[in-house]
Structure 1
Amino acid sequence: MKAGVMPDLTRELQYGGRVAGVDEVGRGPLAGPVVAAAVVFGAGVPDDLAAIIDDSKKLKPQLRAFIAARLPEVPGVEIGLGAVSAPAIDRLNIHNAAHLAMQRAVARLPRLPDHVLVDGNKKPDFGCSAECLVGGDSLSLSIAAASVIAKVTRDRIMNSLDQRWPAYGWAKNSGYGTAVHRQALIASGITPHHRKTFGTVRKQFELYYAGEQV
C-alpha cells in the first residue's frame, strides 16, 4: 500500500444509489483514440483492491494491468467503455471528442446510473445528474478505477496499432509526441490514426498537400 491519502467511496456513498465514476485518457497524444471508462461499484470494493486503486498516472503498468483484470471479477461492479477515433477527434475537436467518449462509456453501462462523478471541471450531458470533481482520480475510488480501465484499454489499442505501424514507437509512447514519434512523422509521414489537427501532425499534413517532401 502506498503512503498518503488514497481515493475512497466517500463521495459515492454521499449520493447513494448507483454512482458511476468516469474518466478519460488520451487528450494529448498525436495519434490514436481518446478512451473513456465508467465504473460503478454496486456492492463496495474488497479491501485489498481498494488499497491499490489510484490515479492511473501514479501506478506502474503491471499494477494497472492487475487492477484492470481484477475489477470485472468484483461482485456488483459495472464497467462501460467508450472511444472516439482520431478522424472523429479532428472533426469534433479534442474537448468534444473526450466528452463524447465519456458519454459512450456511461451509455454502455448495463443501465443509466443515478449519478455520475466526472474527473475534471467540465461535464457532458449524461442524461442523469452529474458532478465535476477536479483531481477526482485521486479522490474517488470509482473515478480512479475508471482511469485505470481507460488507460489499460488505450495502451492495448496503441500496442495493437504499433504492430502495423512500428516506426512511430506507439507501444512505448502511446502516441505522445516523443522524439522517436516526431522523427518518424518526418521520415514516414502520417497514418490514418494520426490527429491531423494536432501540432506536428498538422504541419506534416500541410507540407504533404503543398507538394513538399515530408
Structure 2
Amino acid sequence: MKKLTIKEINAELSSITEETDPFIIALEQDERAGAQKALNKWRKFQLQQTELLRKYKEMSVFEEQAELAGAHRIAGVDEVGRGPLAGPVMAAAVILDPDKPIFGLDDSKKLSDKKKNELYDQIMTKAIAVSSAIIEADEIDRINIYQASKRAMEKAVEQLSIPADYLLIDAMTIGNNLPQEKLIKGDARSVSIAAASIVAKVERDRLMEEYGQKYPGYGFEKNAGYGTKQHLEGLDHYGVTPIHRMTFSPVQSRL
C-alpha cells in the first residue's frame, strides 16, 4: 500500500465501515505508530456504533410490536418535574420516524447535559411530531402532583400536530381513547419514551434557567427547582415565589 500521511489515512477511514475492507487489511501492515493509532481509533468507533445500533434495536421492541398490531403513529410519552419544590411539571409526546433512527436515545437521567441537547436537536429535526405541555405550580397545588403529571401527558398527546394512534407511556395510563401501554422504567426501554423524556427534560431545564434569571438567589438555573441547599437557603432569605409549590412541605413550612 502506498504510504499515506496519517491525515490521509484518517480521511480514508472515515468512509469505511467493514473490518474486511482491503484498506483495513493493508493498514494492519503499516508499522508507523500514527497509522496503528488511527486504526485502533477506527475500531473503537466501530464498536461504539455497533453497540448503539444494538441498543436502538433492543429499545425498539415495543414500537415494533405496536406496528405489527396495526399502529402507524406511535407516540412515546413521559414527564419530568414531579419532585421539585418550584416550577411546573412538564410532559412531552414524540412520534419518531422509523426511517430516521436516532442512536443514543436513553433515559434522560443517564445522559450528560451536552448529550441531551445533541439528542434534543436530532429529535426536533427527525421526529414526525413533537409536543410538550406544562402544568403550573398553582394547578399542581390544586389537583396534586400525580394528577398534574397525568394532565400534562394528556395535553402533550392532544397537542401533537399529527395525531398518534398508539401510546407508549412511562409508568402511567392516561385518560383518552387511544390504545396505550404502560411501561415501568419505559424511558430506558423504549426509544419513543426515551425521546419524550429528553424533550421534556431539556425544555424544562431551559425554562428553569429563565426563572433563575427572573428569581435570583434560589439557584433555579442549576437545581431546576429541586430542594438543594442553595434553594432552601433562598427560601429562608427571600421567601416563596409565584412558581413555588405551596403544598410541598419545605415550602409550606416557610409560608
Whether TM-score is above 0.5 comes out as yes
Kept in 2, the 8 Å contact 1:106–1:126? The answer is: no
Identity %: 41
Which residue of 2 is the match for residue 84 of structure 1?
A: 135
Q: Deviations over 1:44-82 (max 9, x none)?
A: 433xx32x11100000001101111121211x5210111
Q: Give every structure 1 segment of 4 or more consecutive aligned residues whose post-TM-superposition deviation is greater than 4 Å.
A: 1-5
Kept in 1, the 8 Å contact 2:129–2:162? The answer is: no
* 1:110 maps onto 2:161 in alignment: yes
Which residue of 1 is the match for residue 16 of structure 2?
A: none
* 1:33 maps onto 2:83 in alignment: no
In structure 2, distance between residues paired with 1:133 and 1:182: 34
One-letter amino acid matched to 1:162: G
Q: Report the more deviating stretch, 94-103 or 7-16.
A: 7-16
- The residue matched to 1:167 in structure 2 has which SS? coil
Deviation at 1:41, TM superposition (A): 1.4
Q: Quick one: which of 205, 226, 239 aligns to 1:176?
A: 226
- The residue matched to 2:75 in structure 1 has which SS? strand
Q: Quick one: which of 52, 64, 77 aligns to 1:22?
A: 77
Which residue of 2 is the match for residue 212 of structure 1?
A: none
Larger RCO of the pair (alpha carbons < 8 Å, separation 6+): 1
Which residue of 1 is the match for residue 26 of structure 2?
A: none
Q: Quick one: which of 106, 112, 115 aligns to 1:63?
A: 115
Q: Deviations over 1:142-191 (max 9, x none)?
A: 00000000000000000001001110000000000001100110111000
One-letter amino acid matched to 2:186: G
- Figure out how many residues of one structure are paired with residues of the other and give that number: 200
In structure 2, distance between residues paired with 1:44 and 1:119: 23
Deviation at 1:35, TM superposition (A): 0.4
Deviation at 1:42, TM superposition (A): 3.4
Which residue of 1 is the match for residue 238 of structure 2?
A: 188
Which residue of 2 is the match for residue 11 of structure 1?
A: 62
> Structure 1's 44 and 135: CA in aligned 2 closer, same or farther, altered over 3 A?
farther
Which residue of 2 is the match for residue 93 of structure 1?
A: 144
Normalised by the size of structure 2, how large is the TM-score?
A: 0.75
In structure 2, distance between residues paired with 1:157 and 1:173: 12
One-letter amino acid matched to 2:83: G
* 1:129 maps onto 2:184 in alignment: no
One-letter amino acid matched to 2:107: D
Which residue of 1 is the match for residue 12 of structure 2?
A: none
- The residue matched to 1:54 in structure 2 has which SS? coil
Which residue of 2 is the match for residue 42 of structure 1?
A: 97
In structure 2, distance between residues paired with 1:178 and 1:31: 11
